Amino acid sequence: MRITLQQTGSKDDMEQQSCCICASHFQLGPASCLAITETGILMGEVCPACVEAGARHIEGWMERRARWTAFGARQDAQIADEGVTDCPTVDELLAAESFYGGPMFETHEEFDDAVRRGEVS
Ligand SMILES: [Zn+2]
């Protein structure tokens, strides 16, 4: 992977970006740092903090991401092997929506409080 510098394309591009290495949000300026794989795949913008921390920092992020991605892939494969054992029909979903008529609480906080009190599971 190489990190290249280039002039940002337009003012519209100078907005909040998500770093393709660490996922932090940052404000893109008139210069962009782009991560590009050796096979030419554009990964995206690299934030100033990752650029400042350097190549080892970026390699460390990529190694951690690779481990998490592999873990997620194994977990997804296990879930796929389980198959779907039960699934309502759309008619059952529509009947449930009609039966309930609305959510249990107005806010997440009210719902969370009810869960803490053991009133909702
Ligand atoms: Zn970053």
Q: How far is the CA of 94 from the centre of ligand 1 (A)?
A: 44
Q: How far is the CA of 25 from the centre of ligand 1 (A)?
A: 8
Q: Is the pTM of this model over 0.75?
A: no
- Looking at residue 79, its pLDDT comes to 95
Q: How far is the CA of 4 from the centre of ligand 1 (A)?
A: 14
- Looking at residue 29, its pLDDT comes to 94
Q: 3-state SS of the chain: helix, strand, coil percent to 5?
A: 45, 20, 35
Q: How far is the CA of 19 from the centre of ligand 1 (A)?
A: 5
- What does the alpha-carbon distance between residue 35 and residue 41 come to, in Å, rounded to a whole number? 9
pLDDT category, 121, cuts 50, 70, 90? confident
| Cα separations in angstroms, 57 against 5, 73, 115 | 18, 24, 41
- What does the alpha-carbon distance between residue 60 and residue 118 come to, in Å, rounded to a whole number? 42
- Looking at residue 31, its pLDDT comes to 96
- What does the alpha-carbon distance between residue 91 and residue 69 come to, in Å, rounded to a whole number? 37
* Averaged pLDDT of the chain: 95
Q: Under DSSP, is residue 18 helix (H, G, I), strand (E, B) or coil?
A: strand
